[in-house]
């Protein structure tokens, strides 16, 4: 997700610093973005000179201190509340401008939890993109009880004007708008498959052909990542304690097995074939 956000921001003419966890991850991010831009250029969607200009606007680093001069930082690390609150506390110390916005691409973690890890809760906001970022037009802007009107305006302007995305506004509840609806649907599909009621192919085919969805729920879980799907379900369940948000055992076992979907080559489907 971080690569996608960096790519669309650079394509929109913004200077972007991408910070990854370690040098190997920096290399992987750089390759992912270059490949995506090359693909857009080869298919004629992006002129060759604009592809090069976008690449020139990107700087890659494994050092958080390189974010010191940023006006807007968008966090997109793993969906783990402890990791995210630690990162927000660190960013609060590092990012120098007192006006700078600290945003999160979290799919489900309440923004207030991240805001309260900083000394600038009024400048913390959710800017939630959808996967794949260069393709899907939606951005959810998520405001906490502390987010200031200026922060909301600037975040909306970035998504809507700079990136030309469609913005919807969400209140600060786990899962926001889209995942509060999507995750119970995916979990129901996993339960249906787990119970032996239907094959994974028939479940997915049913929703693609019967409801005109671009992909079925199990293929979508593989695209999102089963670890992320489980983490979002956990956040929803923790917040609402409703059975429909409880992750089914099969999902937990697949995550423990490292079968995380496309990113590891296998989830409900095998992507190595």
Ligand X SMILES: NC(=O)c1ccc[n+]([C@@H]2O[C@H](COP(=O)([O-])OP(=O)(O)OC[C@H]3O[C@@H](n4cnc5c(N)ncnc54)[C@H](O)[C@@H]3O)[C@@H](O)[C@H]2O)c1
Q: Sign of the CA dihedral 20, 26, 28, 32?
A: positive
> Would you list the DSSP string of 53-81?
HHHHTEEEES-GGGGTT-SEEEE---S-H
SS3 173: coil
Active site residue 22: no
Which position among 8, 16, 19, 207 is part of the footprint of ligand X (CB under 6 A)? 19
Distance CA 157, CA 151 (A): 10
Specify whether 105 is catalytic.
Answer: no
Cβ-Cβ contacts under 8 Å for 65 (sequence gap 6 or more): 94
Window 252 to 271, contacts with ligand X (CB under 6 A): 263
- Cα diameter, the chain: 56
Closest separation in Å from C-beta 95 to ligand X: 14
Tracing tokens 């000179």 back to the chain, one arrives at 49
What is the contact mask toward ligand X in residues 121 to 160, using x (rule: CB under 6 A)? Answer: -------xxxx-----------------------------
Candidates 75-83, 135-143, 236-244, 246-254; binding stretch for ligand X (CB under 6 A): 75-83
Residue 131 or 156: which CB sits closer to ligand X? Answer: 131
Q: Give the span between the Cα atoms of 231 and 251, in whole angstroms.
A: 11
Residue with smaller CB distance to ligand X, 21 or 42: 21
Does the annotation mark 98 as catalytic? no
Pick from 16, 51, 87, 174: which binds ligand X (CB under 6 A)?
Answer: 87
Nearer to ligand X, 130 or 245 (CB): 130
Residue 225 interacts with ligand X (CB under 6 A): yes or no: yes
CB 192, min distance to ligand X, A: 21
Place of tokens 């983490």: 231
- Where does this chain touch ligand X (CB under 6 A) — which range of 19-27, 147-155, 164-172, 234-242? 19-27
Residue 21 contacts ligand X per CB under 6 A: yes
Q: Choose the catalytic residue: 20, 105, 140, 144.
A: 140
- For ligand X, the binding residue among 7, 10, 16, 20 (CB under 6 A) is 20
CA dihedral 227, 184, 128, 8 (to 10 degrees): 70
Q: Which string of b and e fits 144-164 if b means at least 16 CB within 10 Å?
A: bebbbeebbebbbebbeeebe
β-pairing, 58-61 vs 16-19, is parallel
β-pairing, 138-142 with 58-61? Answer: unpaired
Considering only 50-58, 92-100, 194-202, 223-231, which stretch makes contact with ligand X by CB under 6 A? 223-231
List contacts with ligand X (CB under 6 A).
1-2, 19-21, 25, 76-79, 83, 87, 105-107, 128-131, 224-225, 228, 263
């Amino acid at each position: 997700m971080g690569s996608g956000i960096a790519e669309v921001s650079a394509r929109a003419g913004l200077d972007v610093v991408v910070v990854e966890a370690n040098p190997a991850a920096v290399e992987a991010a750089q390759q992912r973005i270059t490949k995506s831009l090359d693909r857009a250029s080869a298919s004629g969607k992006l002129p060759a000179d604009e592809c090069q200009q976008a690449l020139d606007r990107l700087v890659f680093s494994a050092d958080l201190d390189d974010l010191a001069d940023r006006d807007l930082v968008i966090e997109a690390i793993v969906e783990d509340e402890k990791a995210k609150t630690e990162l927000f506390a660190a960013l609060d110390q590092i990012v120098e401008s007192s006006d700078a916005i600290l945003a999160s691409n979290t799919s489900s973690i309440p923004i207030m939890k991240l805001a309260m890890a900083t000394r600038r809760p009024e400048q913390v906001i959710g800017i939630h993109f959808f996967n794949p970022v260069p393709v899907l037009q939606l951005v959810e802007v998520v405001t906490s009880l502390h987010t200031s009107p200026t922060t909301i305006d600037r975040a909306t302007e970035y998504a809507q004007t700079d990136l030309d995305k469609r913005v919807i506004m969400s209140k600060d509840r786990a899962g926001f708008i889209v995942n509060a609806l999507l995750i119970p649907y995916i979990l129901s599909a996993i339960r249906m498959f787990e119970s032996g009621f239907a094959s994974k192919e028939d479940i997915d085919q049913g929703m693609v052909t019967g409801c005109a969805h671009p992909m079925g729920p199990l293929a979508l879980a593989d695209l999102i990542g089963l670890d992320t799907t489980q983490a979002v379900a956990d956040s929803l369940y923790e917040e609402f304690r409703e059975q429909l948000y409880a992750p089914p055992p099969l999902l937990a076992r697949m995550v423990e097995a490292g079968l995380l979907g496309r990113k590891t080559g296998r989830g409900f489907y095998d992507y190595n074939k």
